[in-house]
Amino acid sequence: MEQVYQCKLFLYDKKRLHKTTEAAMLEHYVENLIYQESQFIQALSSHNNKRFLHIGATKTIGEYVIKNQVSQCALDNDNQISVTIDNTKKLLSYIDKGLLDFALVEGFFDQSKYQHIEYANVPFIGVCHKDHPFANKVISLNDIFYQHLLIREEGSGTRDILERMLIEHNHTINEFERITSINHFSLLIDVLKRINGITFAYEPLIRNDDELACFTIKGLNISHSFNYVFLDNDYSRDYVLYFNSLRKQ
């Protein structure tokens, strides 16, 4: 294959074999071809014009953001849908394997590898119980490290955003006095209401909860995008545009 493509695909480094950048590009190209072939075969075998949608969403988005769109999609008798809820890292791997047509994620991804369309840009804020000392206040960054932090599991978008924000300001998540990791947002919020702790979340998700309050960190105004992520092909893009159109219904 190296002779065919006139480039190095693998290199040895201290007796370990590594893929080159060119190999990664070829791998991604082949993954895309395999996905498109599967879509073509599916179209040929589907004589009733049904639309088969394999949708991925991160846990927060799946639980709070796309309920109406999924419902609208399911109401259409021409649709056959499958929805997978997982963290950003795993959803991207499912896209690579051709298991998903697209995923709606809040985590970070390689924009050189995937196509993306922004779904929304939302504030990322501190959250606490309404009786917490931080409630509705502006606090210094150093103050948060004396708190009990409730956070999502490794690989989740919200955790990744917080960790990157801290690193940008020469801090790490390990500086918090205490950390509790919960991989389900609803449970995390229920626990938060019962203890004297804090978390970080997207503002729309807690906007209508009267038991919670937000706080901001002085000098920081953080927002983050929800994105449709997919391989660069017409099948995936058409599925994304169709699913996004259901927001208006």
Per-residue pLDDT at 91:
94
* Of residues 37, 91, 102, the one with CA closest to residue 60: 91
Alpha carbon distances (Å) from 157 to 76, 85, 94, 125: 31, 13, 16, 14
pLDDT digits (tens, 9 = 90+) for 233-243: 888 999 999 99
Q: Decide: helix, strand or coil at residue 21.
A: helix
- 123-223: CATH topology: D-Maltodextrin-Binding Protein; domain 2 (3.40.190)
Report the pLDDT value the prediction gives residue 107, as an integer from 0 to 100. 79
In this prediction, residue 248 carries a pLDDT of 74
Sorted by where each begins, the domain ranges of the chain are 2-120+226-248, 123-223
Q: How far apart are CA 216 and CA 193, in angstroms?
A: 18
The domain covering 2-120+226-248 belongs, at the CATH homologous superfamily level, to Periplasmic binding protein-like II (3.40.190.10)
Same fold, 2-120+226-248 and 123-223: yes
Where residue 49 falls (left for φ over 0; alpha for ψ -120 to 50; beta otherwise) is left
Tell me the C-alpha distance between 157 and 88, whole Å. Answer: 6
pTM for the whole structure: 0.72
pLDDT at 249: 58
Closest CA to 196 of 153, 135, 136, 140: 135
Q: How confident is the model at residue 140 (pLDDT cuts 50, 70, 90)?
A: very high
Positive or negative, the Cα torsion across 99, 103, 107, 113?
A: positive
Average pLDDT over residues 131-141: 96
